[in-house]
Amino acid sequence: MIVVTGGAGFIGSAIVWKLNELGEQEIVIVDELGSDEKWKNLTGLKYIDYYNKNEFIELIIEDAVPFEVDAIIHMGACSSTTEKDADYLMQNNYHYSQDLAKFCLTHKSRFIYASSAATYGDGKQGYEDDQTRLNELRPMNMYGYSKHLFDLWLHKMGMIEEVVGLKFFNVYGPNEYHKQDMRSVVHKAYEQICDTGKVKLFKSYKPDYKDGEQVRDFIYVKDAVDMVLFFLQNKNKNGLYNVGTGKARSWKDLVTAVFNSLNKEVNIEFIDMPLDIRDKYQYHTEANCKKIINAGYTKETYSLDAGIEDYVKKYLVAEPFLGY
């Protein structure tokens, strides 16, 4: 059985969708559905069973999981970069992950988990997925620190070469709709264009970057999922890996691609950046992808324009959910 934690969430549900596409249905989803509409991500998917995350971790701790676990793909976490409750993040993102990792290593089950590019902080140390340099990284928010702490723990315990940690960069695509303010700017831009005909972007506060020219490594969720499943299929590949395109593009490029996908004229308004995030704002991220390529992953990723066109035309304008 393949367990996908966060399986009703954005990347998790996309992983289940892709597994279904490959003919796999022996899947257990672990999540916490709450009162939002995340459950809609599940409606087109095929899986055996669903467990609430609290119920499942009790089974893990008690070593009482009632089925054989071939792999745990651990995507479940609080992914809000503005979350202030540090104790919650420690329990939900760090300790929960520890329990899953120990279970998998004890039972010789595959363990693949979501780390984050937020662990790189302001990028001064670069974006190379070198696990021997983990102590040099300084995350800029508590979310990034909670992810970094788990990477560090695995390394200190000598486990990092027995599992796979994936540092996701800026992922966008279908099934992200429930994420509210943590949705991609692609989805936010689409809504703004439909509602007002224009998109608002933050001004730059660094002279080296013009307004809208701040850059990120944007990766389409279909590419991110393919990279995850590469490690499910190649069990001899372990360690920390970046999940990105290796090609940074600007917010202006991204928004322009959304306008073009809708055949509308580009109309961007630059607004003030809130004071509380100015000193934590990343102006440049770009994944170093040499390690995953050297591991054998050679599939070409969607260009930013092609990924946004696929997302907008096949999902946002048409049927929004994967698996429908």
**pLDDT, tens only, 182-237:** 899 999 999 999 999 999 999 999 999 999 999 999 999 999 999 999 999 999 99
User: Is residue 98, in this structure, part of any structural domain at all?
Assistant: yes
User: Is residue 191, in this structure, part of any structural domain at all?
Assistant: no
Q: What is the CATH number of the domain that holds 293?
A: 3.40.50.720
- Relative to beta strand 215-216, strand 249-250 is antiparallel
Residues 130, 184, 50, 76: is their CA dihedral positive or negative? positive
Q: Is 174 exposed, middle or buried (0-12, 13-18, 19+ CB in 10 A)?
A: buried
Residues making up the chain, counted from first to last: 324
Q: Which residue is listed with tokens 């990924």?
A: 307
Convert the pLDDT of each residue in 56-115 to its tens digit. Answer: 999 999 999 999 999 999 999 876 677 778 887 888 889 999 999 999 999 999 999 999
Enter the pTM of the model: 0.95
Active-site positions read: 143, 179
User: Is residue 106, in this structure, part of any structural domain at all?
Assistant: yes
User: Is residue 36, in this structure, part of any structural domain at all?
Assistant: yes
How many domains is the chain built from?
1
CB 116 within 8 A of CB 147: yes
CB-based burial, 287-315: b 16+ in 10 Å, e otherwise: bbbebbeebebeeebbebbebbbbbbeeb
What DSSP element (H or E) covers 305?
A: helix 304-311
C-alpha separations of 101 from 74, 110, 145, 146, 165 in Å: 9, 9, 18, 15, 11
User: Is residue 97, in this structure, part of any structural domain at all?
Assistant: yes
pLDDT of residue 277: 83
At residue 73, the 3 state secondary structure works out as: strand
Spatial separation of the C-alpha atoms in residues 111 and 104, rounded to whole Å: 6
Q: Helices 53-61 and 96-107 meet at what angle, rounded to 10? A: 50
C-alpha separations of 109 from 2, 140, 293 in Å: 10, 33, 24
Residue 124 has pLDDT above 90, yes or no: no
User: Is residue 277, in this structure, part of any structural domain at all?
Assistant: no
Spatial separation of the C-alpha atoms in residues 15 and 87, rounded to whole Å: 29
- Residue type for position 231: F
Query: Which residue segment(s) compose the domain that 122 sits in?
Result: 2-172+218-246+286-301
Spatial separation of the C-alpha atoms in residues 12 and 18, rounded to whole Å: 10
User: Is residue 180, in this structure, part of any structural domain at all?
Assistant: no
CB 150 within 8 A of CB 115: yes
User: Is residue 237, in this structure, part of any structural domain at all?
Assistant: yes
Convert the pLDDT of each residue in 231-286 to its tens digit. Answer: 999 999 999 999 999 999 999 999 999 999 999 999 999 999 999 888 878 899 99
